[in-house]
Amino acid sequence: MATKTTETAAEKKTTAKKTTAKKTKVAAKPTKNLLIIESPNKIKSIKKILGSKYEVLSSKGHIRDLPSSRLGVDVENNFEPEYIVSRKDGKSAVLKELKAAAAASKHVYLATDPDREGEAIAWHLATLLGLDPQDNIRVTFNEVTKSAVIAGVENPKGINMNRVSAQQARRVLDRIVGYKLSPFLWKKVKTGLSAGRVQSVATKLIVDREREIEAFDPEEYWTLEAVFAKANKEWVANFFGTTDGKLPINSKEEMDKLLSDLDGTAYSISSVKKTERVRQPNPPFTTSSLQQEASARLNMRPQRAMSIAQNLYEGIDVKGRGAVGLITYMRTDSLRVSDEARISAENFIKETYGANFYPAQPRVFKTRASAQDAHEAIRPTDVTLTPAILRESLTTEQYRLYKMIWERFVASQMAAALYQGTSVDVSAKGKNSGTEYIFRASDSKLVFPGFTAVYNYGDDEEKSSKRLPELAIGDPADLRKLEPEQKFTQPPSRYTEGSLVKALEEYGIGRPSTFATIVGTIIERRYVEKDGKLLRPTSLGNVTTDVLTENFSNIVDIAFTAGMESELDEIEEGNKSYLDTMNGFYGGFAEDLSAAEKKLDGVRVEVPDEESDVICDKCGSKMVYKVSRFGRFLACPNYPTCKNTKSIIVETEGNCPICGGKIIVRRSKAGKTYYACEKANECGFMTWDMPTKEKCPQCGSTLFRKFNRLYCQKDGCGYEGKVERKQTEEAK
């Protein structure tokens, strides 16, 4: 794979010095091997495993990349990328250290992460260190455990160049779209905007959903609940229809007619059905399902969940054990579980819960056809390291996420839950029509808990089900009251960060390693904003999406973007070439760009301001939202006649420890969030630490949080506590 490589003058000088040194001095025979990994956080864990025969160093992520100041891709010459080692972020110093260590080592092994990005980083390192990519220099392991690391080191292989080509194709495609489309948006919409091959599609999903909500026309319907009693115990049945089938009620007139027909009639039990239903456990987590569940259950953003999972994978200092990698690699879309892990889970389940809690046959979950099966599902590396054992070694967030991963995996290997269901039909003959109406009630009782003994974050059917008394066919049903209720159909709900991740996966947009970044990017660039947990497009997101849809339909087309993901997979599988993929994309893209430039020559698309409910206290107009580099603020729409602006006041749950006033969120000139008293000029209180809803047990003042510490800022109090004390029970 041809690429341009730019070597700095400092690197050339270093190389020259090495050459001279070799002529004058015979180097001592190397005694150690060098293992290069991506993240420095894994060094301690891996050194503990490999011992003194290995030196372990980190590349600290990508060692080189495309230049940030220019396109860096020769579109006229087979789309050759120009890679550079950046001096701005300290990569030259890292490379210098790695070169020196490599020169002093017996063998050099590249143990970067086991995915496309990791494979590409390994290839870049091999190129810069003068290693042959086809030599046995590539080491991979799915978990930072003794058996996995040693097995990886003992079975090195060549670098997978198809996987490298797939990563390079993604990087170059994203660079071309970003560096060609962004300047177009600057000229036609607003300076500083950015476009992305995947982020633009994600934004369009949210824009389309919002417009679907706005266009939604609610339809009226009615429900009818019948409350019966037996031996002073009330139970409820809902109107179903007639013996001919379901009968919808769509207006008050229809409901009044039904109620009139039922007035004074007798009710009796016409059917009682007993059933058994089996509920199977969910599979262990993939990257996508982990992010979705962390968002829904732990209120944890996808990016935060992935950051914490990375910590758990790389290694945590566990009391009495040292640095231990606690979960397998967290970027995966596979549901596969190794035989070793399955057997460990089987033994643990039988010993802890009993043999009947393990299924007759081991569970095998089917991975979707489009998934890359290079890694296992996300699971604990040692199932015997229960959340309770690790509680003191983990932060609150690490504990909550590990607990969820551990429970999901253990439950996935357990027996199904068994429910006994009861379905009851109540009949009533209309006094006017003679029609036999049916009311239906159901009950679900847990007979055997199975996997729910460990993991039951889903709907708890037994708790949500209303218990029915013992009923028999022919029994009269004692009606207490009929409760009609008018309802309207609801529009589709807005996306949350978790449900957007799910949509991206279902549509085939992006890969597990990119989901969290995509969601974070469109929020940070203000194409989308959060309303509580819900995502809604901004005016900027709407306008940008419309411009791209009208002029670059492929860029924001779900099927086209998903098709590109499939092509990248084909490159990795060796069924398609890098050059064919690039040529197939660029021709149409370049034509669209040229046509759009001509079509919008001299045109500037306005981004309408979003109106607020705040009234300008100088001229009486409704103020509008504006965005600066410090965030959103309110401004008068009559600028420059009226130049009034206001900060957006976001109140917290705390009170000022000095004067008792409300604490509000503010931003510094550098864009950093801090907290201040609403009476800024009179009081002057401010802090960088977040106020909480917790009250000091000593003085009743608001407690503030710094890392995992809660403390009181009231003069003379001095109370301190730990966050874990409050959140342990919530996490269980």
Q: What is the DSSP string of 66-115?
A: --SSS--EETTTTTEEEEE--TTTTHHHHHHHHHHHHHT-S-EEE---SS
Range in 48-57, 227-236, 259-268, 704-713 the model is least confident about: 704-713
Q: List strands edge to edge, sheet with 690-695.
A: 690-695, 702-706, 709-712, 720-722
70 phi/psi in degrees, rounded to 5 = -155, 175
* Amino acid at residue number 50: L
In this predicted structure, the answer to whether residue 614 has a pLDDT above a threshold of 80 is yes
In this predicted structure, the answer to whether residue 403 has a pLDDT above a threshold of 90 is yes
Q: Give the pair of three-digit tokens for residue 158.
A: 């060549």
Band (pLDDT 50/70/90 cuts) for residue 647 is confident
In this predicted structure, the answer to whether residue 11 has a pLDDT above a threshold of 70 is no
Cis-peptide into 640, omega within 30 deg: yes
In this predicted structure, the answer to whether residue 680 has a pLDDT above a threshold of 90 is no
Write down the pLDDT at residue 62: 93
* Non-local CB neighbours of 710 within 8 Å, separated by 6+ positions: 692, 694, 703, 704, 720, 721, 722, 723, 726
What does the DSSP 8-state code read for residue 378? B
In this predicted structure, the answer to whether residue 371 has a pLDDT above a threshold of 60 is no
The Cα 482–Cα 426 span in angstroms is: 13
Band (pLDDT 50/70/90 cuts) for residue 726 is very low
723 to 390, 445, 485, 611, 710: CA distances (angstroms): 17, 37, 45, 39, 6
- By CB atoms closer than 10 A (0-12, 13-18, 19+), residue 46 is buried
pLDDT cut 70: percent of the chain above it: 91
- By CB atoms closer than 10 A (0-12, 13-18, 19+), residue 676 is middle
Average pLDDT, the chain: 89
- By CB atoms closer than 10 A (0-12, 13-18, 19+), residue 3 is middle
pLDDT cut 90: percent of the chain above it: 72
Write down the pLDDT at residue 630: 61
Write down the pLDDT at residue 167: 96
* Non-local CB neighbours of 600 within 8 Å, separated by 6+ positions: 188, 551
Give the pLDDT mean for 200-221. Answer: 96
Stated pTM of the model: 0.80
Give the tens place of pLDDT for each residue, 529-546.
888 789 999 999 999 999
640 phi/psi in degrees, rounded to 5 = -95, 0
In this predicted structure, the answer to whether residue 22 has a pLDDT above a threshold of 50 is no
714 to 23, 500, 687, 700: CA distances (angstroms): 70, 42, 12, 9
Write down the pLDDT at residue 683: 86
Give the pLDDT mean for 264-282. Answer: 95
Do 662 and 678 contact (CB within 8 A), yes or no? Answer: yes
Do 535 and 500 contact (CB within 8 A), yes or no? Answer: yes
Write down the pLDDT at residue 237: 97
The Cα 383–Cα 348 span in angstroms is: 7
Write down the pLDDT at residue 17: 46
Write down the pLDDT at residue 283: 96
Give the pLDDT mean for 395-418. Answer: 96
The Cα 278–Cα 495 span in angstroms is: 31
Question: Smallest Cα–Cα separation from 128: which of 7, 34, 1?
Answer: 7
209 phi/psi in degrees, rounded to 5 = -65, -40
Give the tens place of pLDDT for each residue, 652-675.
778 899 888 888 887 776 556 788
Q: Residue 703: in which H helix or E strand, if any?
A: strand 702-706
Give the tens place of pLDDT for each residue, 281-296.
999 999 999 999 999 8
Question: Smallest Cα–Cα separation from 235: which of 534, 512, 518, 475?
Answer: 475
Write down the pLDDT at residue 305: 95
Angle, vertex CA 305, rays to CA 303 and CA 308, nearest 5: 110
Range in 21-30, 237-246, 302-311, 329-338 the model is least confident about: 21-30
Write down the pLDDT at residue 725: 38
The Cα 675–Cα 668 span in angstroms is: 10
Write down the pLDDT at residue 319: 86
3-state secondary structure at position 312: helix
In this predicted structure, the answer to whether residue 416 has a pLDDT above a threshold of 90 is yes
Angle, vertex CA 203, rays to CA 197 and CA 206, nearest 5: 150
Q: HSE of 24 in the Cβ direction (CA atoms, 13 Å)?
A: 5
Angle between helices 515-524 and 287-298 (to 10 degrees): 50
* Non-local CB neighbours of 427 within 8 Å, separated by 6+ positions: 267, 268, 269, 270, 436, 437, 438, 439
In this predicted structure, the answer to whether residue 627 has a pLDDT above a threshold of 50 is yes
Considering the candidates 109, 329, 399, 578, report the single residue annotated as catalytic: 329
The Cα 405–Cα 389 span in angstroms is: 15
In this predicted structure, the answer to whether residue 642 has a pLDDT above a threshold of 70 is yes
Band (pLDDT 50/70/90 cuts) for residue 698 is confident
* Amino acid at residue number 73: V
What domains are there in the chain, each with its CATH number?
A: 4-159 (3.40.50.140), 168-216+493-599 (1.10.460.10), 220-280+417-488 (2.70.20.10), 287-412 (1.10.290.10), 611-731 (no CATH)
Write down the pLDDT at residue 398: 96
Write down the pLDDT at residue 464: 47
In this predicted structure, the answer to whether residue 728 has a pLDDT above a threshold of 60 is no
Angle, vertex CA 120, rays to CA 116 and CA 122, nearest 5: 115
* Amino acid at residue number 632: R
SS3 content of the chain, % helix, strand, coil (to 5): 40, 25, 40
Annotated catalytic residue 267: no
Higher pLDDT, 678 or 198: 198
Q: Give the pair of three-digit tokens for residue 578.
A: 């890098």
Question: Smallest Cα–Cα separation from 667: which of 685, 688, 641?
Answer: 688
Q: Give the pair of three-digit tokens for residue 252.
A: 């008050």
Give the tens place of pLDDT for each residue, 295-352.
989 989 999 999 999 999 999 999 888 889 999 999 998 999 999 999 999 999 999 9
Give the tens place of pLDDT for each residue, 433-491.
999 999 999 999 999 999 999 998 655 444 545 789 999 999 999 999 999 999 999 99
Cβ atoms within 10 A of the Cβ of 254, count? 15
